[in-house]
Structure 1
Amino acid sequence: SFLPQIQTFDVEAPCQTVEDLTSGVVMAQVLQKIDPAYFDENWLNRIKTEVGDNWRLKVSNLKKILKGILDYNHEILGQQINDFTLPDVNLIGEHADAAELGRMLQLILGCAVNCEQKQEYIQTIMMMEESVQHVVMTAIQELMSKESPVSVGNDAYVDLDRQLKKTTEELNEALATKEEIAQRCHELDMQVAALQEEKSSLLAENQILMERLNQSDSIEDPNSPAGRRHLQLQTQLEQLQEETFRLEAAKDDYRIRCEELEKEIAELRQQTEELTTLAEEAQSLKDEIDVLRHSSDKVAKLESQVESYKKKLEDLGDLRRQVKLLEEKNTMYMQNTVSLEEELRKANAARSQLETYKRQAVELQNRLSEESKKADKLDYECKRLKEKVDSLQKEKDRLRTERDSLKETIEELRCVQAQEGQLTTAGLMPLGRQEPSDSLAAEIVTPEIK
């Protein structure tokens, strides 16, 4: 509903859809249209225009805009916004939440209808459609009902507060720039690693081609296919080397820039601590002034001012916690970078060992195949010998049985011969009857004995 009103400011950035507003560029240009003196070019240059789909940069822009609106209400308009739910810039930047975006635009319209040129903006609202006009006026009335005037405090404290805010903004910008540079360094490291791998593969391919060319054509002849291929590969190799050197130089530059930013962050942190001490001292002095003016007519205004300062100190505590979290994240990122570099070195060392293990595995596989063939052959020989042993065992059993039968036959023959000898010795048998006994013995003898 606030989009038509925003479009009337005639800003340079596109503002046709809700997505165009989430980057914060349109809002910053609208605020500069409202008050160019306060929202000057220096403030506008802090808003990053090329954010793309990076929601973190969008949130950073929206935080700066929200802080600028609150400071403008407090310092220029002399208004303090109470009991008004501030928009969640994280939901706006990451998810383009319409409700939170409406609260942000409501604050911007509140600045427009309270600035020096408020009559012009109110006239513009009155010329819009009734539905849009009703929504805009309702939002402005709701915001104005939450505003309350603030009393002017000590000038030195105001200057100190402004300096503290400026230092905090510079610290946040330095941290954001440092995060971007760290991400860029990481990307450059990945590009350098990829280019080194490509360079290694090209060198290997060049070596293979050189070996082939030594066996076939001469690479010195540029008219031959091998010579042209060699020149092409050489040119490509030189380009890759130049790209590698360029990326390494850019990487070193970014690292130097990161170190400089770390030094700046340390200095800004020290300044923040000093300003915090001064702010605490100023607060204590302000409390003494409140005690001295307790009986005056400005008691209510001074108490509201004290409450506002307390809120600012709470905001400062939040900023300290955010700075601490960012420091922890920075330390974690540095540790991750060191561990990743160590893992990269280990991976390069393990790659050569892996190649050696692969060759050994191939050799062992070949040996295993040969030994398997030998084992199969020996198994076959063993089976054949076992069959032969079984056949011999059967033959042995058969011969043993035959031997036993022969022994029995021999015993019988011996008994017959013994009987015949006894008969012959006694002389009881005539010679004519001895022949039949001999023929009987001959018949008893088996064919094998014969």
Structure 2
Amino acid sequence: MSLNKHQLSDSLFIWLQSFQVPSCASKHELTSGVAIAHVLNKIDSTWFNETWLSRIKEDGGTNWRLKVSNLKKILQSMMEYYHDVLSQQVSDEHVPDVRLLEERNHVYMQRTCELEEEQRRATAIRSQLDSYKRQAHEMSAKHSAEAMKAEKWQFEYKNLNDKYETLLKEREKLISERDTLRETTEELRCAQVQQQCLTDSMIGDAGAVGSLASEIMPTEFRDTVVRLQQENKMLCVQEESYRHRLEELQTQLEEAQRRQNTLETQNRLSQQQISDLSAQVEELQRALQEQDSRNEDVISSLLKKKLEEHLEKLHEAHSDLQKKREVIDDLEPPLDINMAKKVDELQEILKKKDEDMRRMEDRYKRYVEKARTVIKTLEPKQKLNPVPVEVQALKNQLSEKDRKIQHLEHDFEKTRSRHDQEEKLIISAWYNMGMALHQRVAGERSSSSSSSAQSFLAQQRQSTQARRGFSRLQPR
């Protein structure tokens, strides 16, 4: 049961070489069919006679059409031999159906062309999407630069407007001061005129007293004027210092307003980027959900299809095994306990395989439910982390789901390869059983001297009649 195809081909090649036929020096020469034809001629020369052997062309060389023609002739003759001489029907599954293979190949070619066309469309759409992303990024950068310029010009306009309002206030203040000074000047002129009138009237009445008062009054006025001039100078100095201080504070205020305006602009742009990224995250989540739903549908349909194919193959394997068991029961009496054990082991392996397929389907359903719950819990409850971290988390979840899908596909491929290997083991066991039966029949034929004069055809007929009589006597 542990034989593989290579060992089977080696054993078949050694068995063919035991007949000592031509064109049997290497395995490549077997493809011409000449060696197989000579072996069949030695096995039964009455059916596979020289006339039939002359129809097999031996100078095939590299002409594969001639080799295929030889193999078709050999296959047709063997099927007729089984039907006419051995009275056995060969199932259609052992005969290659070229038309079915051609139809399958045509379907595969159409599917391949469709997939290539879809791939080309997807590549074109992906390139367009990349170009759109680049254009959107460039437009976003231009929009940010223009927004910064607009904020800068708005800030300059605000500063100029403030300066204009300040100048208007200073103009009104100067106008009010001018009016006040004009009124003060008028009052001083009136007081001076009154003083002049009083001075003129008092000249005639009191000459000495008037001259003394006239001497005293200008001195007092002079002191007042000097004091007022000093106070005026001090006030001018203070006003100059206050003006410098006011200019410094105004400069600092403008700088602070400029920084505040820049920060507000950056904050607004950041809020806009956050809103854009939030919209992108929502779109990615929706796309992820749609893709997950599509992937779930596709994967479930593929798995169901493959499961149906495997179940169909398993059913075919069961039917083939049943047919082969019937053939084995017809070929030999049920005395080989080892072969029965092997068949039981193969049935147990097939049962285990069915259980593995059921477990795999259950595990797939659990993975699908788990993926749905993960998709439902993808949306963040609190937006405390920055948006790029959320996007990275979504990407990590996507990669994790891809790894799970790849793991499921790997398990499925492993299961399929194991099933194929089991089918190969069943075929190899059946082949070994047939070889053992053939060797046993050949040994019995060589040991029995009474049947040495009979032909191969008569021996086959007698063995067939004996098997039929034995099958009638033995209940199944």
Answer 1 or 2: higher relative contact order, Cα 8 Å, separation at least 6: 2
Larger-gyration structure (1/2): 2
TM-score w.r.t. length of structure 1: 0.25
Structure ranking higher in helix proportion: 2
TM-score w.r.t. length of structure 2: 0.24
